[in-house]
Structure 1
Amino acid sequence: MPQTPIDPARLTADLVRCASVTPEEGGALQLLERVLSEAGFSCTRVDRNGIANLFARWGARGAARSFGFNGHTDVVPTGDASVWSVPPFGAVEKNGWLYGRGATDMKSGVAAFVAAAVDFVTATPPDGAVILTITGDEEGDAVDGTIAILDWMRAQGETMTACLVGEPTCPEHLGEMIKIGRRGSLSAWFTLTGVQGHSAYPHRARNPLPAMARLMDRLASHRLDEGTAHFDPSTLAVVTIDTGNPATNVIPAQCRATVNIRFNDAHDSAGLINWMQDELDCVAGEYGITGEMSVKVSGESFLTPPGPLSDLVARAVEAETGITPALSTTGGTSDARFVKDICPVVEFGLVGQTMHQVDERVEITQIHQLKAIYARILRDYFA
């Protein structure tokens, strides 16, 4: 059992030195498994389809009260390492900042909740369980990461009664924002097929381009909603339209386009898919061409209504930072969209301004603050 508190900044640096570019494990989960096992956590690797995941529990399985943390150790690629001012996996400290890929997103968050959990169960063993679920597949396809852990938990009778995801949530200052939900996300790929021909004889062809322009305009100009109590209005973005046609004297046979929708709790993916299919069928019929659509749903919209869990986290944040956090549903998706299927979940973490950037970095003092916030949350939850 550790005799001295774990330094979360040092643990963050050790994790940054693990080159865990998704889907590579890079030694990060091996390091955490060693730290947690030495602290008395029961650790299980829940690997699936080559993706590494870690489940760790202190306390009895199926405890009446169990608090969980969720996070990831995989990181996005570094890009051109020569444009970094430091080695991307060097964990270099400069002027009070720790540099490296994953320093913000989110090895510092994982280090903070691991350090808080180990110190908490060592100093004041709770009447209940502390559970950590850490994946190597959040930045990738996210189908064999947290989902795999949750599938395994259900099969093994493992439970969490509440969970905090340690993703960066604060726009500019630590303590500003707690995420209590996320918008849903889906992408749709459209293919319109007509008849190729000479541009001088358009009557002999059937051009899919005007039809695609019409379809994209109908989708993009449609107001999905006005927003809901906890969400901004849903959005649809046209992200590409392409024919692959370099010639000026050829009417192409096909045109492709892609849209991405970020939707609030006024919708579900099924309803949006049906709406897009109706629009596609209408335009295809109007122009006498054929249309196909394929869809990938990254996650449904969800909300953990303001209440005991968000109050618990907000009190801890304010006690440690002096800032009253806003409850928000902004931003992209996170693994909270999976955790919400088994227990109430909120997200709170560091400032995310440099995540995925060149010279990604985290302020070292804030790693220690984050550990203190997580430790207070555990103390208050089990008090």
Structure 2
Amino acid sequence: MLDAADLTARLIRCPSVTPEEGGALVLLEEELRRAGFDCHRVDRNGTSNLFARWGAKGARTIGFNGHTDVVPPGDPASWTHPPFSGHWDADDVIWGRGATDMKSGVAAFVTAAIDFVRDTPPDGAVILTITGDEEGPSRDGTIALLDWMAAQGERMDACIVGEPSNPEVMGEMMKIGRRGSATFRIDARGVQGHAAYPHRAKNPLHALTRMLAELTAAPLDQGTAHFDPTGLQITSIDCGNPASNVIPEAARAIVNIRFNDLHTGDSLSDLLRAHADRIAAETGVALSVTAEISGEAFLTQPGPFVDLVRGVVQQETNRQPVLSTSGGTSDARFVKDHCPVVEFGLVGAHMHQVNERVPAQQVRQLKTIYQRILERYFA
């Protein structure tokens, strides 16, 4: 029986800060090949990814998705134990970058899959997709794996993403969807002039702040059955003007919108551009909007697969997890175009922090949950 906590510590010792592979996928491939998994490295544009399947192609298949890349650790001197030491202390806690997000989740589903196919070989297949580009641009990670799978005729019927999903305690929450995320850059261009003679200028800040005031005047919606209200945040306003007596020629702002299933990236782009066009016509200041859509809102409807995962979590933790769509984005936003997907993983309290750490018992509990899901799925 493979120890998920031990594999977590070994993975932490691989310095896999995006986009460096750091030896993490090499380690996993060795373990999976030894267990009889068919493994393929799916590297694209310098990003390392791993596909592994046990069982026949085309059989009934459940998949797991996760990442071994981590965010930078910051100043190592700020850590109680070195960030890539995988230090295991006397309280049975494992320290290091990736301890919660999410080398522990990967270790849990890898060891669960290996033990499951060894002890109770299923009439079906288990697929693991592990990327090194979740914390980075996310263009050549899970997307590359799904592209490769489509070209090879590989398919998952359902998938679990092992991201940390619990805010405080194991079993309190699982994710059945995510809000969409869009960033809008609004550029305003007017006519520079002296602040004492505004009639000879066109102040881009006046037009820009008017548009921002309109966007924030009222909520975009009141939320839906499974989603909170859409949130709009102004994250930057700048004109690069050091002089107090000069009306600037140009100004820009950045707006981030986390949106529910009442909207799409395109519909929000249309909304902001309609505001910009109207205010430009009224003020004579040119306003343009550039959109970057990180992911669309999606929902895996409650049903047999969601019920299966929720039932196992409740049985193993004595808590019925809330079905949530909260939080930021994850690679589930790509998997949802391939198959139904849910997210369940560890408590995320320490992720991305200095002194990131995880109790070894929690990693082992997650492994047990994943193994029970596999058993029920193929029962």
Matched, 1:209 2:219: no
**Are 1:275 and 2:271 counterparts?**
yes
Over the aligned positions, Cα root-mean-square deviation in angstroms equals 0.8
Mapped pair 1:219 → 2:211: no
Once the two structures are superposed, the pairs formed by residues 243-282 of structure 1 within 5 Å of their partners are 243-282=239-278
Q: Distance in 1 between matches of 2:254 and 2:304?
A: 40
Deviation of 1:169 (Å) = 0.2
* Aligned counterpart for 2:39 among listed residues 36, 43, 47: 43
Among 59, 66, 90, the residue aligned to 1:71: 66
Structure 1 stretches of 4+ with a deviation exceeding 3 A read none
The yes-or-no answer on 1:382 pairing with 2:375 is no
Residue 67 of structure 1 aligns with an amino acid whose one-letter code is I
Given candidates 329, 345, 354, the residue that maps to 1:358 is 354
Report the equivalent of 2:19: 23
Q: How far apart are 1:282 and its partner, in Å? A: 1.1
Does 2:269 correspond to 1:291?
Answer: no
C-alpha displacement of 1:285: 1.5
1:105 match: secondary structure: coil
Residue 88 of structure 2, aligned match among 88, 93, 97: 93
What one-letter code is carried by the residue in structure 2 that aligns with 1:77? Answer: P
Residue deviations 1:351-374, cap 9 Å, x none?
001100111111111000000000
Indicate the residue corresponding to 2:54 in structure 1.
58
Question: Counterparts of 1:159-198 in structure 2 under 5 Å?
Answer: 159-198=155-194
Deviation at 1:73, TM superposition (A): 0.4
Q: In the TM superposition, what whole-angstrom CA distance separates every residue of 1:306-325 from its partner, at most 9, and x where no partner exists?
A: 11111111111111111111
Q: Which amino acid aligns with 2:116?
A: F
Q: Distance in 1 between matches of 2:126 and 2:37?
A: 9
Q: 138, 142, 166: which is aligned to 1:142? A: 138
Counterpart CA distance in 2 for 1:86 and 1:251 is 52
| CA distance in structure 2 between the partners assigned to 1:244 and 1:272 by the alignment | 27
Residues in 2 aligned to 1:326 and 1:202: alpha-carbon distance in whole angstroms: 56
Q: Report what 2:128 is aligned to.
A: 132
Q: Matches of 1:197 and 1:311 in 2, distance apart? A: 64
In structure 2, the gaps of 5 or more residues are: none
> Structure 1 length normalisation: TM-score?
0.97
Query: In the aligned structure 2, how far is the partner of 1:221 from the partner of 1:360?
Result: 39
Q: What amino acid maps onto 1:289 in structure 2? A: V
Alignment partner of 1:33 out of 29, 32, 52: 29
> CA separation in 2, counterparts of 1:84 and 1:205?
53
Count of residues in Structure 1 that have an aligned counterpart in Structure 2: 378
Give the superposition deviation at 1:141: 0.6
Q: Which residue of 2 aligns with 1:233?
A: 229
Amino acid at match of 2:226: H
Inter-partner Cα distance in structure 1 for 2:209 and 2:269: 19
Residue of structure 2 in register with 1:107 after alignment: 103
CA deviations on 1:147-184 (whole Å, 9 max, x unpaired) are 00000101100000110000000010001111000001
Amino acid paired to 1:165: V
Partner of 2:78: 83
Shift of 1:224: 1.2
Percent of residue pairs identical: 63
SS in structure 2 opposite 1:93?
coil
Distance 2:144 2:280 in 1: 40
Q: Distance in 2 between matches of 1:176 and 1:372?
A: 16
CA distance in 2, matches of 1:221, 1:363: 45
Query: Match of 1:347?
Result: 343
Residue 49 of structure 1 and its aligned partner are, at CA, apart by: 0.6
Give distance in 2, aligned partners of 1:44 and 1:79.
32
Asked if residue 158 in structure 1 is aligned to residue 154 in structure 2, the reply is yes
How far off its partner does 1:196 sit? 1.1
For the residues of structure 2 that align with 1:82 and 1:51, how far apart are their CA atoms?
Answer: 29
Structure 2 residue matching 1:104: 3-state secondary structure: coil
